């Protein structure tokens, strides 16, 4: 299938270019090791690059991510493959791995594209923009998002009609429909798995109405509505473009819930919801924000203070479990919930509902190694086989895990976990 | 809201890179407002400010100069507090000679999380300077 | 000098441009002297803009740039690197902070904010016009790291550093390693024991020849700086020879007449003045607690290994970097707080951990059987401002109510304790018969996979109650019985009382009470009084003291996994300071004008680092600065009577031109 085959060797393969993978790659590279970073997506940066601001400091997420991303992308010791997938890794011996990676065609020559966006303007096909979590459209010829790295175009071949408009528009003639997949055969001395997490799919909880009721959105969509690179310039109800003024958060959506097979707590959703509530109070000064919770888990450095700050700003916290959500004709939503403080079932009307979706594992991890070699935990996160003394270790010597690939974590914890993974990889390589 | 700036005093703040500047940054982060005619120049350590710079600021029309000193948190040593104090009193002497009201130069130790203290100090300094220029 | 400057003004996505009219700023400065181009940009720090800057510099032969964006604490190094990539000396870039100190600080006043931004950008332009190209100063860096504290964090970091080929001195104040973890028996969430874990790490340390372990060792002096720290460490002897006969030693312990409260068991038991830290004592031989020893000589009579002639020593440790892993103290409730030290069946969680470890078949405390256990959560954590909580505390002969004041400084949640207490409660129920657990919580925080433990405990029938925010449970002693009473959220405010045999105060983590080490290293503390990192996300294990890293619970509450993650991150960072054998330092140092200097020696007196020496230059005595010692504090500047000293990049000319620009009226 692949036309070209490249062979090369590196000290470490890092799978996944989110904040954890990026941090691990940088640590290794800054200490003189050669790293190959394989990212499935068209840009590195992971979830974090799409966030608005980050708790508990309210730093702008892009401002923290983009410099890291650019440091990674121009580091002389880091080679990045975006739009690429690790197909198979084999451990041949200590300090000796072999990996096969496929780089899928982008149909644009990365080196030549200037990111001028003329192809985007020329392309007649409009589809949902996955980077804005389907809230707006994009073209089939497109730059993934404004702060993507690399910031170059790609052709979405599944939706492309091969009309050739982009080819004509491109001033550097870098669109190439004949591109094929490239195969990389890599010799490696260690592997770091930093494939991150997936968001819980709220379609699985029908009674919350996601997908049917337009004004029920996910927290990730709200991140986009609040981000500096947001789709509209303000927060709007997707149903009718009205400014919402009574917003509700449904915490623990898909977490701590045996009925969806996920009993664990996602660890970040309480805090990101509190963060979004604070940002909403700033963006929509007239709005009321209510957070429906079971327990508020503000456990980290500065978190409890952040929670207090939200209460001080007037965010309304209701200890209650949401039973179901129904829609009124005008698009407003009725939440039926069990008020735990009063021990009765109540109803409340809101005009926008945000589902604080949880963290679930990335199924890709199972396929990297031959069956069973890489042990997973009961929730299919990568198993940390020496959780207390060496949290980055996995069931395979020389293979380490960083960030949310091993379970829910916020950004500071992901970064520290990446520090541990790169540290272990370094001593593994040096020790021989 | 526009035009507020004319109603506040012009204050030059000498902050320090590692200690008081982070506190002033955090004041911004926490949206603790203070007059926009307050400008900071950061230096490595408050005990390294030359009186000549302060006098220059008055000459150029600043109403007040505020030294956001390192205090006991100084990374260059405990002597910072004493030395900053010394340079301030030295400058106060010169100001008296030049018939400048010494109270137009103020100093307070601002630690790296003293955002509220900073804003409080600046606001009261601003009040003082406004009253002084009016009378 | 005729300069050709580029000026970039950042929107920061709106963080700046929502309050500062960036286009107006651009228009106000683009005709300033030397400005060749001025641009606004969505994200100055983005890769695309960085590339654009490099192109601009190269295409237009710019020799200076100004970036007006967020605080230089975030991106000074980013833009310095941009300059360097474009072949421009990085000191020809000047930063203007128009976010933290303008748009955010003055979000209430857009006109004022815009004017201030213009002033700051103009002053940065004025400064860059005078900026010089500077080369970094290279200093040697000793390939060795001093790790302070041999808890789980310090031990783990030491092993990792040793495996990277870096010699380590591991300095532990106590006579035994392992820190707090040695004190816990079963650990969440793996059910390993603290002893197992500490044993394994101690063995790993013993195997590595490049780790030097000092116990009973306390740092008493710190001189030097990144690349070259010199620590003076006071090492107290054990007064026992390393090769000793165990049987005799036990006899010596039995013979010792002194009994003191046993720290290891949080004072619920006593030990002798000669003691083991059973069950996890490493190194594996006892110690004489010389402070409490009366020199009666009883032990010497039965054991030949005892040697009172051993002397306290001072050891010098040299290292290129210092890694701080000094851990935490459990919160110590005050007398009467929820009945602590007031009722004899009120203990803290650490004490409870020791009690269940020491009980074998039956759970007893102070001779009484324990069946009903009440756990009061968040003691010493999540405290509220004084006045916000109800105090309680009335007493008659038969009725006594403990204080339930939850006000205090510790606003933070200690994060480990919900999981730890639930795990311990499960273990207690499994190991001992007829135990009932009652949890008086303020909302359970078993985050992540720890939630499984909470589920398990619910399944085992533990009772969970939750108090209202400012209405903590009360502890009452009546007719010799202790009751915990709560207005319970979970049952809509119903008052519930539980008769408890043992009350466990789930105490949080606080910074070490003996934290002299912090002042020795001038480590800054955060709002929670734990050591503070530079930036939680960008530089989470670095401190403002160059070369000193922090990790584990001394930086803030953490469980073991989290402590080790941060410890390995700190090890990597410390390693990067020393691995190359040399370091580049900022060339911002003092400079003496030989023509003006008359050698009065005042600068030499002022310098805290001994960087100034008298030299003879062309027959004249003048001051000279030692470049690799000068830290660039500038303390020598104001003392010079003839104004002969300047700080590089802060010269009189530069400072005055900046002040001029700030003072100028804007049309
Ligand atoms: C709505 C929301 C708001 C949040 N807000 C905050 C906040 O304010 N503060 C905070 O601290 N945390 C926040 N978080 C948490 C934060 O997003 C995570 O902690 C962080 O993104 C984890 O980083 P990661 O690198 O482990 O994973 P990810 O960000 O998921 O990155 C994983 C990367 O690996 C790539 N990848 C996946 N599979 C493969 C494969 N097979 N091959 C190659 N590459 C692959 C992915 O494309 C991705 O780039 C928030 C999360 C959400 C959902
Ligand atoms: C009751 C309780 C139960 C717990 N149970 C668990 C559990 O089951 N699972 C889990 O994951 N976590 C648990 N924890 C958390 C765990 O104890 C911490 O994560 C861990 O101890 C942190 O390790 P550390 O090395 O950072 O600090 P510490 O364990 O405090 O070690 C610090 C070390 O530094 C030394 N030191 C201090 N000052 C100096 C100095 N000036 N010079 C030299 N040395 C110095 C100390 O003597 C000590 O040896 C529990 C905590 C408590 C309070
Ligand atoms: S038109 Fe060509 S150069 Fe421009 S973005 Fe599209 S592919 Fe890239
Ligand atoms: S972090 Fe909060 S919202 Fe998320 S699963 Fe845990 S308790 Fe629920
Ligand atoms: S972890 Fe639980 S017990 Fe500990 S302070 Fe936080 S909420 Fe309270
Ligand atoms: S700048 Fe500071 S360190 Fe340097 S010579 Fe002057 S006083 Fe000494």
CA C465/CA C472 separation, integer angstroms: 11
Are residues A370 and A404 located together in one domain of the fold?
yes
Residue C390 has pLDDT above 70, yes or no: no
Query: Would A174 be classed as within a structural domain?
Result: no
- What beta strand segments (E) does A176-307 contain? 182-188, 191-193, 197-199, 216-218, 246-253, 288-293
pLDDT tens per residue, range A13-48: 999 999 999 999 999 999 999 999 999 999 999 999
- Specify the residue with its C-alpha closest to ligand 2, atom 1: C350
**Look-up of token digits 């002084």:** B132
Q: Is there a domain that residue B46 lies in?
A: yes
H helices within C432-554, ranges in order? Answer: 451-459, 516-521
pLDDT at position C110 is: 95
- Model confidence at B4: pLDDT above 50: no
Please state the domain count of chain B: 1
User: Does the structure show a pLDDT above 70 at B3?
Assistant: no
Please give the Cα distance from C127 to C657 (Å, whole number): 7
Which residue ranges have their beta carbon within 6 Å of ligand 3?
A 108, 113-119, 152-153, 169-170, 172, 174-175
Q: Using CA atoms, how far apart are residues A155 and A162, in angstroms rounded to an integer?
A: 10
Average pLDDT over chain C reads 93
CA–CA separation, A81 and A39 (whole Å):
6
Q: Is B3 domain-assigned? A: no
Give pLDDT, residue A146: 80
Enter the CATH code of domain C329-510.
3.50.50.60
Closest CA to C13 of C3, C22, C4: C22
Residues A41 and A29 in one domain: yes
Q: What's the pLDDT tens digit per position in B56-111?
A: 999 999 999 999 998 877 778 778 889 999 999 999 999 999 999 999 999 999 88
- Contact status, residue A189 vs residue A97, Cβ threshold 8 Å: yes
Which tokens is C199 given?
């044993």
Which residue is listed with tokens 């915490």? Answer: A251
* pLDDT given for residue C559 in this prediction: 98
Question: Which residues of B fall within a CB distance of 8 Å from C637?
Answer: 48-50
CATH at A416? 3.50.50.60
Dist. CA A109 → ligand 3 center (Å): 9
Q: Which residue has the tokens 């069950």?
A: C279
- Cβ partners under 8 Å of residue C462, min gap 6: C422, C425, C426, C429, C437, C438, C439
Q: How many domains, chain A? A: 3
Bin C239: left if φ > 0, else alpha if -120 < ψ < 50, else beta: left
Which secondary structure element, helix H or strand E, spans residue C573, and what is its range?
helix C560-578
CATH number for the domain running over C586-648: 3.30.70.20
Domain boundary among A337, A359, A381: A359
Mean pLDDT of A91-101: 96
What does the pLDDT read at residue C280? 67
For residues B92 and B55, the answer to whether their CB atoms sit within 8 Å is: no
pLDDT value of position B1: 36
Which residues of chain B have a CB within 8 Å of the CB of C112?
A: 4-5, 8, 35-37
Cα(A116)–Cα(A171) distance, integer angstroms: 9
**Does residue C567 surpass a pLDDT of 70?**
yes
In the listed set A359, A390, A423, which residue is the last one of a domain according to the structure?
A359
Distance (Å, whole) CA B50 – CA B68: 14
Residue matched to tokens 């360097």: C84
Give the burial class of A109: count Cβ atoms within 10 A of its Cβ; 0-12 exposed, 13-18 middle, 19 or more buried: middle
pLDDT tens sequence across C280-339: 688 888 899 999 999 999 999 988 889 999 999 999 999 999 999 999 999 999 999 999
Question: What is the β-pairing status of strands C436-441 and A288-293?
Answer: unpaired
Q: Which of C83, C86, C85, C103 is nearest to C95 (CA)?
A: C83
Furthest-apart CA atoms within chain B: distance in Å: 44
Mean pLDDT, chain A, whole residue set: 94
> Environment class of residue C371 by beta-carbon count within 10 Å: exposed (0-12), middle (13-18) or buried (19+)?
middle
Calpha distance B97→C489 (Å, rounded) = 69
Residue B4 included in any domain: no
Q: What is the DSSP letter of C395?
A: B
Q: Which of C143, C437, C444 is nearest to C318 (CA)?
A: C143
Reference B1, options B43, B33, B32; nearest CA is: B33
Instruction: Provide the 8-state DSSP code for C333.
Output: P
Are residues B12 and C662, on separate chains, in Cβ contact within 8 Å?
A: yes
Give contacts of C 98-127 with B, CB under 8 A: 99-113, 115-116, 119-120, 123
Cα(C289)–Cα(C293) distance, rounded to whole angstroms? 6
Distance, in Å, from the CA atom of A43 to the CA atom of C45, rounded to the nearest integer, reads 17
Among candidate residues B63, B82, B72, the one with its CA nearest the CA of residue B133: B63
A110: in domain:
no
Please list, in sequence order, all residues whose beta carbon lies within 8 angstroms of the beta carbon of residue A151, skipping any fewer than 6 positions away: A43, A115, A143, C47, C48
Asked whether residue A317 is assigned to any structural domain, the reply reads yes
Nearest to A306 by CA among A123, A55, A13: A55
Do A145 and A98 belong to one domain? no
- Quick: pLDDT tens for A377-412: 999 999 999 999 999 999 999 999 999 999 999 999
CA C624 to centroid of ligand 6, rounded, Å: 11
pLDDT for position B5: 42
Residue C335: both structure tokens together = 């007398």
Whether residue C658 and residue B5 make contact (CB cut-off 8 A), yes or no, is: no
Q: Kindly report the average pLDDT of chain B as a whole number.
A: 89
Task: Examine the fold and report which residue of A303, A333, A359 is the final residue of a domain before the chain moves on.
Answer: A359
- What spacing in Å lies between the alpha carbon of C148 and ligand 2's midpoint? 13
Same structural domain, A405 and A275: no
Structural domain boundaries enclosing A349: 200-359
Q: Are residues A141 and A217 in the same domain?
A: no
CATH code, domain with B120 = 3.40.50.960
CATH 3.40.50 fits C5-134, yes or no: yes
For the record, the structure tokens of B125 come out as 């300094």
Residue in C404, C400, C386 with CA at minimum distance from that of residue C442: C404
Both A205 and A349 in a single domain? yes
Are C145-236+312-327+512-578 and C329-510 equal in CATH topology? yes
CB nearest A416 (choices: C45, C455, C566): C566
Average pLDDT on A108-125 reads 89
Q: CATH class for domain C145-236+312-327+512-578?
A: alpha beta
Q: Judge residue A374's burial from the number of C-beta atoms within 10 Å of its C-beta, 0-12 exposed, 13-18 middle, 19 or more buried.
A: buried
Q: Which domain holds residue B36?
A: 11-134
Rounded to an integer, the average pLDDT of C464-479 is: 93
The pLDDT assigned to C586 comes to 84
- The domains of chain C are located at 5-134, 145-236+312-327+512-578, 246-302, 329-510, 586-648
**Which residues, in sequence order, are CB contacts of C654 under 8 Å at separation 6+?**
C127, C130, C131
Same domain, A367 and A398: yes
Residues A37 and A165 in one domain: no
Q: How far is C486 from C472, CA to CA, in rounded Å?
A: 7
Distance CA C8, CA C55 (A): 13
Cα–Cα distance measured from residue A8 to residue C546, given in angstroms and rounded to the nearest whole number: 38
């Amino acid at each position: 299938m692949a036309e070209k085959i490249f062979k090369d060797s590196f000290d470490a393969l890092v799978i996944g270019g989110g904040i954890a993978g990026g941090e691990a790659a940088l640590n290794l590279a800054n200490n003189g090791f050669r790293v190959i970073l394989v990212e499935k997506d068209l840009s590195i940066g992971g979830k974090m690059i799409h966030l608005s601001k980050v708790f508990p400091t309210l730093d702008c997420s892009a401002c923290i991510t983009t410099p890291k991303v650019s440091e990674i992308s121009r580091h002389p010791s880091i080679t990045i493959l975006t739009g690429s997938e690790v197909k198979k890794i084999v451990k041949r011996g200590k300090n000796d791995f072999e990996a096969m990676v496929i780089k899928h065609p982008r149909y644009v020559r990365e080196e030549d594209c200037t990111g001028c966006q003329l192809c985007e303007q020329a392309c007649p096909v409009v589809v949902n923009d996955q980077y804005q979590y389907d809230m707006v459209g994009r073209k089939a010829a497109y730059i993934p998002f404004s702060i993507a790295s690399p910031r170059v175009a790609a052709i979405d071949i599944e939706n492309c009609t091969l009309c050739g408009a982009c080819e004509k528009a491109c001033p550097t003639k870098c669109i190439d429909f004949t591109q094929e997949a490239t195969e990389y055969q890599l010799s490696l001395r260690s592997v770091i798995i930093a494939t991150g997490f997936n968001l819980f799919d709220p379609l699985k909880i029908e009674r919350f109405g996601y997908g049917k009721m337009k004004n029920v959105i996910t927290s990730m969509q709200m991140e986009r509505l609040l981000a500096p690179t947001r789709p509209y310039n303000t927060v709007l109800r997707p149903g009718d473009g009205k400014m919402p003024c009574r917003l509700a958060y449904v915490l623990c959506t898909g977490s701590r819930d045996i009925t969806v097979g996920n009993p664990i707590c996602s660890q970040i959703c309480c805090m990101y919801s509190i963060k979004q509530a604070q940002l909403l109070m700033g963006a929509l000064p007239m709005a009321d924000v209510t957070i429906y919770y079971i327990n508020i888990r503000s456990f980290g450095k500065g978190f409890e203070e952040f929670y207090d700050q939200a209460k001080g700003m007037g965010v309304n916290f209701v200890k209650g479990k949401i039973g179901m959500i129904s829609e009124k004709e005008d698009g407003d939503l009725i939440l039926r919930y069990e008020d735990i403080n009063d021990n009765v079932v109540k109803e409340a009307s809101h005009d926008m509902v945000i589902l604080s979706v949880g963290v679930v594992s990335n199924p890709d991890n199972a396929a990297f190694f031959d069956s069973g070699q890489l042990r997973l935990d009961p929730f299919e996160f990568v198993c940390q086989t020496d959780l207390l003394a060496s949290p980055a270790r996995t069931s395979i010597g020389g293979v380490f895990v960083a960030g949310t690939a091993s379970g829910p974590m916020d950004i500071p914890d992901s970064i520290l976990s990446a520090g541990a993974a790169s540290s272990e990889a370094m001593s593994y390589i040096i020790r021989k | 809201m526009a035009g507020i700036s004319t109603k506040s005093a012009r204050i030059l703040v000498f902050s320090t890179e590692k200690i008081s500047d982070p506190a002033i940054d955090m004041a911004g982060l926490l949206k603790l407002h203070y007059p926009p005619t307050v400008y900071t120049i950061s230096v490595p350590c408050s005990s390294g400010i030359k009186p000549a710079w302060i006098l220059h600021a008055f000459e150029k029309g600043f109403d007040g100069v505020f030294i956001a000193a390192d205090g006991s948190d100084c990374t260059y040593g405990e002597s910072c507090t004493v030395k900053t104090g010394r340079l301030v009193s030295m400058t106060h002497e010169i100001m008296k000679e030049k018939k400048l009201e010494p109270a137009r130069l103020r100093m307070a130790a601002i630690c790296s999380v003293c955002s509220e203290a900073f804003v409080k100090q600046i606001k009261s300094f601003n009040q003082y300077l406004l009253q002084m220029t009016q009378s | 000098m005729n300069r050709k400057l580029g000026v970039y003004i950042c929107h920061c996505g709106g963080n700046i441009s929502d309050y500062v009219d960036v286009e107006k700023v651009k228009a106000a400065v683009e005709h300033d002297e030397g400005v060749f181009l001025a641009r606004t940009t969505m994200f100055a720090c983005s890769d695309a803009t960085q590339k654009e800057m490099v192109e601009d510099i190269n295409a237009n032969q710019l020799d200076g740039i100004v970036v007006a964006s967020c605080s230089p604490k975030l991106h000074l190094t980013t833009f310095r690197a941009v300059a360097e990539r474009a072949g421009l000396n990085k000191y020809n870039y000047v930063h203007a902070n128009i976010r933290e100190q303008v748009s955010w600080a003055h979000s209430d006043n857009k006109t004022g904010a815009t004017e201030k931004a213009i002033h700051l950008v103009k002053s940065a332009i004025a400064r860059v016009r005078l900026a010089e190209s500077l080369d970094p100063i290279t200093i040697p860096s000793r390939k060795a790291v001093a790790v302070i504290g041999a808890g789980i964090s310090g031990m783990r970091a030491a092993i990792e550093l040793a495996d990277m080929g870096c010699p380590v001195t591991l300095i532990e104040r106590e006579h035994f390693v392992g820190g707090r973890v040695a004190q816990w028996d079963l650990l969440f969430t793996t059910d390993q024991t603290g002893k197992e874990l500490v044993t394994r790490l101690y063995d790993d340390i013993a195997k590595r020849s490049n780790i030097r372990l000092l116990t009973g060792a306390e740092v008493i002096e710190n001189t030097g700086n990144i690349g070259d720290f010199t620590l003076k460490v006071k090492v107290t002897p054990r007064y026992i020879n390393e090769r000793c006969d165990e049987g005799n030693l036990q006899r010596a312990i039995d013979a010792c007449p002194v009994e003191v409260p046993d720290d290891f068991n949080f004072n619920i038991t006593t030990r002798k003045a000669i003691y083991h830290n059973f069950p996890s004592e490493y190194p594996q031989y006892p110690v004489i607690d010389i402070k409490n020893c009366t020199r009666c000589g009883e032990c010497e009579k039965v054991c030949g290994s005892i040697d009172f002639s051993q002397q306290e020593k001072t050891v010098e440790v040299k290292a290129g970097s210092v890694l701080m892993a000094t851990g935490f103290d459990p919160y110590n409730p005050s007398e009467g707080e929820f009945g602590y030290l007031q009722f004899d069946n009120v203990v803290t969680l650490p004490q409870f951990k020791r009690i269940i470890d020491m009980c074998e078949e039956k759970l007893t405390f102070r001779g009484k059987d324990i069946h009903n256990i009440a756990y009061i959560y968040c003691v010493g954590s999540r405290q509220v401002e004084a006045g916000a909580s109800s105090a309680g505390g009335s007493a008659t002969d038969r009725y006594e109510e403990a204080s339930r004041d939850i006000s205090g400084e510790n606003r933070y949640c200690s994060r480990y304790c919900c999981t730890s207490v639930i795990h311990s409660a499960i273990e207690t129920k499994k190991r001992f018969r007829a135990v009932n657990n009652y949890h008086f919580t303020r909302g359970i925080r078993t985050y992540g996979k720890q939630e499984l433990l909470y589920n398990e405990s619910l399944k085992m029938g533990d009772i969970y109650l939750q108090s209202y925010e400012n209405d903590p449970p009360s502890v009452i002693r009546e007719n010799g019985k202790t009751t915990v009473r709560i207005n319970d959220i979970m049952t809509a405010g119903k008052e519930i009382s539980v008769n408890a045999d043992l009350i466990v105060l789930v105490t949080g983590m606080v910074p070490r009470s003996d934290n002299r080490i912090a002042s020795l290293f001038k480590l800054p503390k955060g709002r929670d009084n734990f050591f503070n990192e530079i930036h939680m996300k960008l530089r989470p294990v670095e401190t403002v003291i160059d070369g000193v890293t922090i990790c584990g619970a001394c930086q803030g509450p953490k469980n073991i996994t989290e402590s080790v993650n941060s410890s390995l991150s700190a090890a990597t960072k410390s390693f990067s300071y020393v691995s190359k054998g040399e370091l580049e330092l900022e060339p911002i140092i003092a400079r003496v004008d030989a023509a003006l200097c008359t050698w009065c020696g005042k600068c030499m007196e002022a310098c805290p680092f001994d960087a100034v020496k008298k030299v003879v230059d062309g027959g004249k005595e003048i001051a000279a600065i030692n470049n690799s010692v000068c830290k660039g504090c500038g303390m020598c500047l104001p003392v010079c009577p003839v104004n002969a000293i300047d700080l590089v990049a802060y010269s009189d000319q530069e400072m005055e031109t900046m002040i001029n620009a700030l003072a100028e009226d804007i049309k």
